Amino acid sequence: MKKRGIFLLLAVFLVCITFTATGHAAGSFTESGSTKIADYGYAVKCHTVPNGDGSTTVMYSVWNGTQLSLYVDRFSASGSRLSHRSVPLPGKSWGGTVYHGPDGCYYVATGNGSDIAFYISKYSADWRQMGVASIGKKDVYTSLAFEAGNSDMTLVGNTLIVHTSRQMMSGHQANATFYIDKNTMRPITVETGFNYVSHSLTQFVRSDGNQVMMVDLGDGSPRDVLFQTYTLRTDAVYNKDAQNYRRFSLIDIKGGNGNSHTGVTVDGFELGSSNHVVVGTSIPHDTFASDSAFSAYQGGNNIYVSLIDKNLQGSTFKWLTSYSDTQVRNLECIRINGDRFLLLYGTEDVSGNQKTCYMMIDSRGNVQRTGSIARTFFCSSEPSLNGDVLTWCHYVESKLGHFLIMNRWNIATGEFSVRNLDTGIKSNISKLDSKKKHTITSKKVTSLLMTVYSDVLKDGPAITPAVWTSSNPKVLEILDEEKMLNDSVLRYGEPAQIVSTRVKARKSGKVTVTCQIGDKTRKIKVKVKVKASKKNKAAKKPAKTAITRLSPKGKKAMKVTWKKKKGVTGYQICYASNKNFRKSKKITIKKSATTARVIKGLKRKKTYYVKIRTYKKGKKNGKQTKVYSKWSAKKKVRLK
């Protein structure tokens, strides 16, 4: 399970482009190349922010072996890099947080120096470093920062609150909270006591005025999704009575404490207008009668929402989906406003069919809108929403290099694109190789192969994404635009791996298929030779007929007479007591030779309107159906 940090309002000084976004904290995403949710979390890989000119700014960390940097790159919709900025960071690992506070400054969480566990760096709007808060490993009894979790931040007055995870020197994992004076960037308090959660696998922190709210996914003590809140004093020193501290469980998780398996993720915590919203995925703990029932469960999971009431006294749990034997993964939460939240996630059923899905909910947990597309959901970033366009990234660091993929999905039109982004970082791939020409003669799904060569593969395979595109999807459709390298090295000990994609021929023609992996590109010329599908033409509409006479037949019947038509199967009469034919009745005449019909069971002294059309039986798209002519002009009659 991967976690991600918070990204609130962002404005970057890059080629005079200013952009603003509402950010969201933490969440889980799947390990690259895997479809399983793990039980531990890792810091987010990158953030995406839409710009007003249609471009997207992506922020991601890069460790080159000696220096950690935050890359702030702006990309066009086609994937071209328009601008680049590298911000040096202290430490060796990023905690996934870039927080833009209401003071206009940026705060970045990093860690794992030689003697320092955590660094909280402050930057001005133009990314000039203004100070660094350093928290020693001995001060916080920590051997590894951000272990099995993430980091999150909020600002209350002059106090910056950082809520995160760590591995303690004893080897145990837990949360930790720091209070930092944002003016001096000196730590005020390092708190590992009153809000302590053992095996905290996700950490969120939010504030409303001076009211602080935290959410942890606990596996040890306690074993539940825990909500904690208190009022922050101006001196930021904890006092249980003065700060009105209270806590309550959002989900009671079955199973033994500390067994590192919960079946639960917490993927979003946002403040709402009616309720505060916590979202995640879970197996059905509410149906387990015992811990052993939890251990025996082997089914899928679903999305839940926990609605925390505004007076912070309790919560309401609701299931948002009801999948059966389906794995929901990589849930992401985007706060649009106080009463509108978008959830983005992937699903995989027992047959291996995968989809990318979204769901819009309000702050009362009501589902407003849903949608899906048949695409595998690779995501390791904070996604963003600009109008109807969702954007997210898949950032992979492996021994082959740094690889950044951008996905864009217009949920209104269904348009979907995958772009290989140019990071400017040279990969360790020596070349891509494949057949230069390929011929496809069947409409069955087939595969195209690409061989990736690199000396670093002598020591074993690497997980790396490849992006495939077709110059004409109407001729040859790419079914896997993004595909991971197979976990196998080529035979004979060659330092190479194979990546493939599924393709489907649609019609004859010539296309160019392009495979991109980082800074390497290879093109394949494909000739498609397939037979055109035979389609049954729809039968032509038969000729119209006309009513020649309409007369009363006694007090409760009328007689309809019409013109006989050749080449038809029969006729259909439509009648009603109003000229708009509301609540009309229809009578089908099955013989083409019939030219009159008496309609009985009518009401006295009523006016009836009548029209008629012909029909004939035929085939449409290969199926037997009736084909009707246009209706005749209507006529009316009044009964006695």
User: Are 493 and 552 members of one domain?
Assistant: no
The number of folded domains in the chain is 3
Which domain does 321 fall in, by range? Answer: 46-386
Closest CA to 68 of 45, 91, 95: 91
Return the pLDDT at 41.
Answer: 64
Residue 514 lies in a domain: yes
Q: What pLDDT, in 10s, does the model give residues 572-602?
A: 999 999 998 988 999 999 999 999 999 999 9
Average pLDDT over every residue of 229-258: 76
User: Are 58 and 204 members of one domain?
Assistant: yes
User: Are 72 and 209 members of one domain?
Assistant: yes
pLDDT band at 624 (very low <50, low <70, confident <90, very high): confident
Distance, CA of 14 to CA of 461 (rounded, Å): 38
DSSP 293: H
Return the pLDDT at 33.
Answer: 38
Q: What pLDDT, in 10s, does the model give residues 253-269?
A: 988 887 778 899 999 99
Phi, psi of 492 (to 5 degrees): 65, 15
Q: Give the pTM.
A: 0.79
User: Are 167 and 313 members of one domain?
Assistant: yes
DSSP 426: P
Q: What pLDDT, in 10s, does the model give residues 92-132?
A: 999 988 998 899 899 999 999 999 999 999 999 889 999 99
Return the pLDDT at 251.
Answer: 93
Q: Which residues contact 363 (CB under 8 A, 6 or more apart)?
A: 272, 273, 274, 275, 276, 277, 307, 338, 339, 341
SS3 call for 493? helix
Distance, CA of 301 to CA of 264 (rounded, Å): 9
Distance, CA of 511 to CA of 439 (rounded, Å): 10
CATH for 565: 2.60.40.10
Distance, CA of 134 to CA of 127 (rounded, Å): 19
Q: Are 204 and 269 in contact (CB under 8 A)?
A: yes
Phi, psi of 493 (to 5 degrees): 70, 20
Distance, CA of 47 to CA of 4 (rounded, Å): 9
Q: What pLDDT, in 10s, does the model give residues 124-143?
A: 988 999 999 999 999 999 99
Beta strand residue intervals within 76-150, DSSP E = 81-89, 93-100, 106-111, 116-123, 129-136, 142-145
User: Are 470 and 592 members of one domain?
Assistant: no
Return the pLDDT at 237.
Answer: 53
User: Are 522 and 611 members of one domain?
Assistant: no
Q: Which residue has the tokens 């100070």?
A: 131
Beta strand residue intervals within 299-445, DSSP E = 302-309, 315-319, 326-337, 340-349, 354-361, 367-373, 381-382, 384-386, 389-398, 401-410, 416-421, 431-433, 437-440
User: Are 215 and 313 members of one domain?
Assistant: yes
Phi, psi of 89 (to 5 degrees): -125, 150
Check whether 24 has a pLDDT greater than 90.
no
Return the pLDDT at 531.
Answer: 83
User: Are 579 and 456 members of one domain?
Assistant: no
pLDDT band at 12 (very low <50, low <70, confident <90, very high): very low
Average pLDDT over every residue of 448-471: 92
Top mean-pLDDT range of 46-60, 91-105, 267-281, 323-337: 267-281
Residue 475 lies in a domain: yes
Q: What pLDDT, in 10s, does the model give residues 274-319?
A: 999 999 999 999 899 888 888 888 888 999 999 999 999 999 999 9
Return the pLDDT at 357.
Answer: 97
> Average pLDDT over the chain, rounded to whole?
87
